[in-house]
Structure 1
Amino acid sequence: MVNIRDLDPSASPLDYYGSELRRLCEEVKLKQEDLDGIIFCTGSLIGQIETTRKVPTRDFSERIDAALGTGGLFSRLVGLVLRSQLPTWFQPIAEMEARAAYISTYQAQMVHGLLQTEDYARAVLATGLPDRLEDLVAARLERQRILLREHPPMAWVVLDEAVLFRPIGGRAVMRQQLTRLLGFAEKRWVRIQVLPFDAGAHASLIGSFTTMRFDDDPDIVYSEDLISGHMTANSDTVKEAALRYAHLQAAALSVEESAALIIRVMEERYGHEPGPDQGAVA
């Protein structure tokens, strides 16, 4: 077993979190079994987090803060810890995403990560065969907290209709995911349009992309390939992306028509589980 005193608190956010947890527990003379009874977690879990063998959750962090009276220290640290669990190449992108004032995205294959439910995110991330799937899921859910801020970024999302029909995670997961998309209608800073199949050839047949705008910095265009993602502030690329996105928005259904289509697909394709003598709804 790794001894927390052998860890370098400056090595990573996770190491710092673990060392601070051990230090504060020792200051108040709490043992793992004592803390176990206060925050309703096993001593083994606490020990694994202290020694960085397990990544803390936001719920765990809030419980620790309440138990140790830290003034929210661990609730603040956990955001950094979870972001550090993202793939190295994606961490700068997540940082820019958190700073953006306006995010516009076209998604051809799946729901954008900021709008995914936990189960949908788990099914998507599992396709990459990661070693620490649950840590990646927790990191993705942490990204979504930017939409819960007092002043969240404006997010405009165009989804290809194929996204609604691709049963990622199964029928129940898709029902939950489409329900969540409809729930964003109550958030004036999130707008969702669906690009219908009938649009035919369109301005982004080449694939998905995202543009991020900032209050004081140049716009950035982000896209992904098989291995990683790429950001650029090249003015020609930014202009081209803006032009293509305008065409996509014009070809897409209105926000209201998009919601109606999402409801119809949810009811017709994912509305009920087929019985033993029934096939899946096409």
Structure 2
Amino acid sequence: MRVFLGDLQPGMKVVHDVRSRDSVLLLTAGTVLTSKHIASLHKWEVSAVYVDMGFLPPAAFEPFVSLATRQNVVRELSDFLRRSEHSSHLCRTPAMEEAVVAIVDEVLRNRSSQFNLAEMRNYDEYLLSHSLGVCVLAVITGVNLGWQRDKLVQLGLAGLLHDVGKVKVPRVILLKPGPLNRREWREMRKHPIYALDILDEESCIMDAATQHHETMDGGGYPYGLREEAIGEFARVIAIADVYDAMTADRVYRRAVPVHEVLEIVYASGGPRFDP
């Protein structure tokens, strides 16, 4: 599992060679981390390391949503995405809803803790990890807005399913290791429309899947909606979506530092996001 540098603990076992940006070999696969190793990785500005889950300390990934809960959500979402490739008008399964309920309950229990957003990303598959990240970030936002538990569960489901339309985008485009050209970008921008055929959910969840790229000034897609015409859930998901996407390492660029992303989001309040 890919683990961010701030989450590394002595005793974790490295499963892949670790190299610097200049391809200098820093650690070999099989190394059991010590405090000195972790300090060295900080000096080399390594962002994350792949470790063996068998060596993972039980509390290392439990700041506010436990590792077991996140794994369960990813498992349910992975199954849903596989089915959605060849089916239409799907509804979430009871198991998926129970998994999101677990996320909501854990966030509510730990609401007094300081949410460390840098700890969010721990999965390799981008669509799965992104959907999970948006789900949790949306729930945290809803808690801060004072929303009640039932509404938070709906919001979490909306975050988890917001990008389901991407299963209809050709994988050669979805997994392209670089920026998209105009033709590819036109196809990628269709994923909110594809969600209409895949999902059969409440209007608030459908809004999140089809409107999360709309902007307050009407410059978004696919419909060019403005302000109150954009669903409430979609406005929350839009912010979580951008934050999670920008703080992720991609093949063609490194993750943007959290403080820079927050500055961009704050600066975009009004024209792009609901302030």
- The question of a shared fold, defined as TM-score above 0.5 by the shorter chain, is answered with no
Instruction: Give the structure with the higher percent strand.
Output: 1
TM-score by length of 1: 0.26
Flag the structure with larger Rg.
Answer: 1
TM-score by length of 2: 0.27
